[in-house]
Amino acid sequence: MHYRIAVVPGDGIGPEVTEQAVRAMEAAGEKFGISFTFNRVLAGGAAIDARGECLPEDTVEACKASDAVLLGAVGGPKWDALPGEQRPEKALLGLRKSLGLYANLRPAAVFPELADASPLKREILNQGLDLLIVRELTGGIYFGERGHKETEMGYAAYDVEQYSTGEIERIARTAFQMAEKRRGRVTSVDKANVLDTSRLWRKTVTEIAEDYPDVELNHFYVDNASMQLVRDPSQFDVILTSNLFGDILSDEASQITGSIGMLPSASLGEGNFGMYEPVHGSAPDIAGTGKANPIAAILSAAMLLRFTLNQPGAADAIEDAVKQFLKDGFRTCDIAGGGDFCTTEEAGRRICERIREI
Ligand code: IPM
Ligand code: MN
């Protein structure tokens, strides 16, 4: 089997962590008779510097011509002063939209070896933490009408939250299908006590639930959900939510697992195509220091193998190698608790060794 993968290294630590993810894919590929062509393309600040725009058209074309996309991270202080439309982050939103990737899957679970890195008390963690955030990714306030106007209180800016039933239905189906393969529970998160979009969200999700009789559905307001996540995360299986709420809750969920440097994500649309990226950002403060944790990127590569390429053996090999790396006592800087740590490159190398051994 041969696959074409578009790699978007991006900015900050993006290039160094995606490099290790590429190596992990090659190691797993060798073992399972899979080969890859990696096509590295520009987006974000790197594209602004080289080409004067954050998302060149040939990048979008290269992604569309690939079986899947592996992305690092975009953004950094160098480009923070640019107007919204020209910022590196716009490249990420443009990719998601133009590739039709409306479903963002963000799993958050604790590795037992890292339980001490979690800010939660042991007794809370011991009840279990293994959840999946299903975040709507191409709608809502991120993509609604925006603008500026004069008001009685002075100059104003606005961003509109809008959701159609079609957009809610398809992301709800993703969440219910995921729950069927997990523990059979969906918690839909909204702000239906205030927002009309949330009231439509809740009504539509409730209707779609009828097609999934084996899945139990409940609804939380977002403020309560954010509190419940630290009070008792074991109550959650699949969390289904909008673009903005999902952005916020996924950072919270990642931190309670111990480190945001560990968490992968998948962005999917119709069909098997997908874009895979770590949940963490570009962390420009540690770029080039060897302190970046490549595990989130490496686990994103495993998700790519599982969801898009339908290669569960290779995906398992990568995930097992990461577990073994941790079990063997190796730590990257973010999870070392001030002790000895592996550099980004060394962590990648040790994980690849374990992929080959498994
Ligand atoms: C994320 C990021 C992005 C988002 C930014 C960089 C545009 O925070 O993937 O969570 O808000 O979606
Ligand atoms: Mn985010």
Judge if 55 and 133 occupy the same domain: no
For the four alpha carbons of 251, 253, 257 and 258, in that order, the dihedral sign comes to: positive
Which domain-ending residue is among 190, 224, 256? 256
3-state secondary structure of 278: strand
Judge if 128 and 193 occupy the same domain: yes
Q: Which ligand is closest to the CA of 251, given by its number?
A: 2
3-state secondary structure of 167: helix
Q: Reply yes or no on whether the pLDDT at 244 is more than 90.
A: yes
Judge if 277 and 190 occupy the same domain: no
Output the CA 213–ligand 2 centroid distance in Å: 32
| Residue at 61 is within a domain | yes
Judge if 154 and 282 occupy the same domain: no
As a whole number of angstroms, the distance between CA 62 and CA 60 comes to: 6
Of 3, 102, 142, 212, which residue is the catalytic one?
Answer: 142
Judge if 317 and 236 occupy the same domain: no
C-alpha 120: how far from its chain's center?
Answer: 22
User: Domain span at residue 227?
Assistant: 119-256
Partners of residue 148 on adjacent β-strands: 157
Q: If residue 86 lies in a helix (H) or strand (E), which one and from where to where?
A: none
Q: Which ligand is closest to the CA of 278, given by its number?
A: 1
| Other C-beta atoms lying within 10 Å of the C-beta of residue 111 | 18
| Residue at 111 is within a domain | no
301-354 tens-digit pLDDT: 999 999 999 999 999 999 999 999 999 999 999 999 899 999 999 999 999 999
- Calculate mean pLDDT across residues 212-225: 98
Judge if 29 and 95 occupy the same domain: yes
As a whole number of angstroms, the distance between CA 104 and CA 117 comes to: 26
Q: Is 223 designated active site?
A: yes
Judge if 34 and 139 occupy the same domain: no
| Residue at 109 is within a domain | no
- Specify the number of domains making up the chain: 2
Name residue, tokens 């160094």.
16
Q: How high is the pLDDT of residue 258?
A: 87
CB 295 within 8 A of CB 262: yes
Judge if 129 and 240 occupy the same domain: yes
Q: Reply yes or no on whether the pLDDT at 358 is more than 90.
A: no
Q: Is 130 designated active site?
A: no
- Contacts of residue 79, Cβ cutoff 8 Å, sequence gap at least 6: 45, 48, 86, 87, 88
Judge if 140 and 204 occupy the same domain: yes
Instruction: State both tokens at 246.
Output: 């999902």
Judge if 195 and 138 occupy the same domain: yes
- Contacts of residue 118, Cβ cutoff 8 Å, sequence gap at least 6: 110, 125, 129, 256, 257, 258
15-52 tens-digit pLDDT: 999 999 999 999 999 999 999 999 999 999 999 999 99
Nearest-atom index, ligand 1, CA of 74:
6
Q: How high is the pLDDT of residue 354?
A: 98
CATH number at residue 25: 3.40.718.10
Is any ligand 1 atom within 6 A of the Cβ of residue 247? yes
Q: Is 320 designated active site?
A: no
Judge if 75 and 143 occupy the same domain: no
| Residue at 113 is within a domain | no
Q: How high is the pLDDT of residue 260?
A: 87
Q: Reply yes or no on whether the pLDDT at 158 is more than 90.
A: yes
Is any ligand 1 atom within 6 A of the Cβ of residue 89? yes
Q: How confident is the model at residue 84 (pLDDT cuts 50, 70, 90)?
A: confident
Is any ligand 1 atom within 6 A of the Cβ of residue 120? no
As a whole number of angstroms, the distance between CA 216 and CA 31 comes to: 40
| Residue at 89 is within a domain | yes
Q: What is the mean pLDDT of the chain?
A: 97
Q: Is 102 designated active site?
A: no
Which domain-ending residue is among 207, 227, 256? 256
Judge if 247 and 298 occupy the same domain: no
- 264 phi/psi in degrees, rounded to 5: -90, 170
